Amino acid sequence: MFALLLWWVLGCGSAALPCRVELPADRAIAPACARCNDAGVIECPSCAKSTCTWGGEGRVQALFCTKAAACRECAGTRRIDCPACERPMPAELVQRRADGEAWLARMREIDAKLEGELLHAESAHFTITWNLRRLDFDPKEGVSTGGDPSHGAMHVYLDRMEALYADFLRDLSATDRDFCAKTHLMVWQKEHDQEIASLAYTGQASSTESKLMGRAPVVSIFYDKGNLHEEFELHQACVHQVTHCLLSNVFDGIWPGNIRGGWIDCGLAHAYEIRYFGSVRHYCYVEADTLQNFKFGRWEQAVLSGVLAGDERPFLGVTGRNTTELTPEEHMYAWSYCDFLLRKHGAKFGAVAKGVKAKKQVGEILQQELGLTPGQFQESWKSWVKETYSPKKKRN
C-alpha cells in the first residue's frame, strides 16, 4: 500500500511539475529547414498558380479533379516533398497522393474507352465525367465558370448535384451511411459518346439518357440540343435522373421501380423537378428509353381539377405498378402522393420509402407509419389538395 502511494506521489506528481529545458535562443526561433519551416513539404511549384482551385465560397470542395490530379509533381495535392531537407512527407499527404494517383488511373480507364482525355471530378457523394466544350448559362442565373467554360461548368454541375443530395438526405431522413456508393454522372456532347458510355457503364443501349440503378448508380446523358434545348433543361434532366439513382441506392441498394414502387420512384423524381424548376419536363420511359418533352407541366392545376371533378386516380390504383407500367396521368398522381407525403408527413417519407423498398404492402406502410387506413389517407390527401393546390398557374 505504501509502495503504491509512493508510486502515485512520484509518478503522477511528477507529471504535474513540468521540467523546463532551456533551449538556446536561436534554436528555439529558427527552423532547421528555412525552405519548408520543418514541415517536410512545400507548395508544388508546377501547379500552385495554375491548378483547379474550385471549392471556394459557397461551392463544394471537390475531392479530386483531373485538372489538378494531372500534375505529375504533386498528383493534385498541391504540395511536394521539401527538396532542401531530409524530413519525410507527412503520412496524410503520402496517402492523399496515392489516392489521387489511383483515382486518376481509374478515370483514365474511362478515357481509354471513349478515346479522348475527358474531364472528371469527384466530391463527397458524386463522381462526374464531363465532355461538354461549353455550356450557355442564362446570364440571369449569375453562374460563374471562373473563365474556364468547360471545366468550370463541370464543377457547377458537381455543386448542384451536392445541393440535390443535401435536400434528398433531409427528405429521406437519411445519413451518408445509408448509401452504398457515390452516384456517377456522365454528360456528353456527342451522341456517339453516349452510345459507348451507356453500354459500357449503364448496361443499356441508349442514344439519349440511360441509368444503372442500385448499389453503384450511374447516369449517362447526351446533351441533345434537339431535346434539351436550354442549359436549365440539362440541369433538370440531371436532377430527375440522379434522384432515381439516389432513391435506388439509399438504405439497401434496391430500385423500387420494378417491385411495384414505380409511384415513389417517379413521384420523387418529379417532386424535385417541380420544386426546383416549377414544372415537369422530364418523363422517362425506362423500357423504351425514349426522351419526351410532354406538355404536362401544370400538375397542381390538373390534380386539383381531377379531385374537384371526383375522377382522381386513387392511391391504391397508382401504387401497385412498376415504373414502366405507369401512364402519364399516373405519373402525375404519383407525384402528388409523394408531394403530399413530403409536405404533410415529411418526417415519415424516409420510412415510407424504406417500406416500399422492403416490398411491404402500402396499406401496411400507411398504418404503421402514419396510423391511417388507405381510405383515411385518400380522404386526407383530397382535402390537402383542395387546400393547397392553386387553380391558377403559379410558377413555371
Binding interface with Zn ion (CB under 5 A) = 33, 35-36, 44, 46-47, 52, 54, 65, 67, 71, 73-74, 82, 84-85, 269, 284
Which among 260, 233, 234, 383 is positioned nearest to 317, based on CA atoms? 260
Closer of 46 and 361 to Zn ion (Cβ): 46
Count of H helices and E strands in the chain?
15, 10
Helix (H) or strand (E) holding 374: helix 374-388
Smallest separation, CB 253 to Zn ion (Å)? 19
What's the CA gap between 140 and 39, in Å, rounded? Answer: 46
Closer of 47 and 366 to Zn ion (Cβ): 47
Closer of 54 and 337 to Zn ion (Cβ): 54
What's the CA gap between 133 and 121, in Å, rounded? Answer: 16
Cβ(94)–Cβ(83) under 8 Å?
Answer: no
What's the CA gap between 344 and 346, in Å, rounded? Answer: 6
Smallest separation, CB 101 to Zn ion (Å)? 12
Closer of 84 and 102 to Zn ion (Cβ): 84
Closer of 87 and 113 to Zn ion (Cβ): 87
Smallest separation, CB 188 to Zn ion (Å)? 19
What's the CA gap between 212 and 353, in Å, rounded? Answer: 19
What's the CA gap between 191 and 365, in Å, rounded? Answer: 43
Helix, strand, coil proportions of the chain in percent (round to 5)?
Answer: 50, 10, 40
Smallest separation, CB 120 to Zn ion (Å)? 9
Smallest separation, CB 127 to Zn ion (Å)? 13
Smallest separation, CB 281 to Zn ion (Å)? 11
Closer of 39 and 216 to Zn ion (Cβ): 39
SS3 of residue 87 by DSSP = coil
